[in-house]
Structure 1
Amino acid sequence: MAKKPVPDTSPVADFEQSMQALEDLVGKMETGEMTLEESLAAYERGVGLYRSCQTALEQAELRVRLLSDPASPDDARPFDANDDAP
């Protein structure tokens, strides 16, 4: 029996899925039809999804930096929006 391939579960791989789940959750919360308990649970879930998305973006940015300058991987650092360097 052949084994199924193991899916890539890195934060970068499921960024889009997490982002869509976050958007769906926000939409549901905005309807105002949730109980307080449901709203709190949804908020907790949303915070987790947000953090997952942030981690994925940071890892993607680091990968881009490493690919941009493979000769100096130790100099790779997260992007800074205020950074004027190319």
Structure 2
Amino acid sequence: MSPSLPSESNQIAAFEQSLDELEQLVARMEQGDMGLDDSLKSFERGIALFRSCQGALEQAELRVQQLLDPARPDSAEPFSPDVP
């Protein structure tokens, strides 16, 4: 096993936890029964969670590109499943 595996597991867990919290936050906000102050705090938290998730996804995409072609990660083609 590679020594970076536990770190990667932690990053995946952190991403999933952030995404779950973001989904719950959106659901609470969509109910519409929050006050203005709570809504603003929730919005700020949601933006922070969104940016965290977006950064994690960008890192994952870069890693996939490096795995597809370690010598030229910028030339890797995006994955497109065979869907009829």
The TM-score normalised by the length of structure 2 is: 0.72
- Indicate the percent of aligned positions where both proteins have the same amino acid: 52
The one-letter amino acid paired with 2:61 is E
RMSD over equivalenced CA pairs, Å:
2.6
Residue 3 of structure 2 is matched in structure 1 by none
Pair 1:29-2:32 in alignment: no
Higher RCO (CA-CA < 8 Å; seq separation 6+): 1
Pair 1:8-2:7 in alignment: yes
3-state SS of paired residue (1:8): helix
- Could you list the structure 1 runs, at least 4 aligned residues long, displaced by more than 3 angstroms after superposition: 7-12
Q: Give the aligned length.
A: 71
3-state SS of paired residue (1:34): coil
* Alignment partners' CA distance in 1, 2:17 and 2:64: 21
**Structure 2 residue runs without a partner (length 5+):** 1-5, 79-84
Which structure features the higher share of helix residues? 2
The TM-score normalised by the length of structure 1 is: 0.70
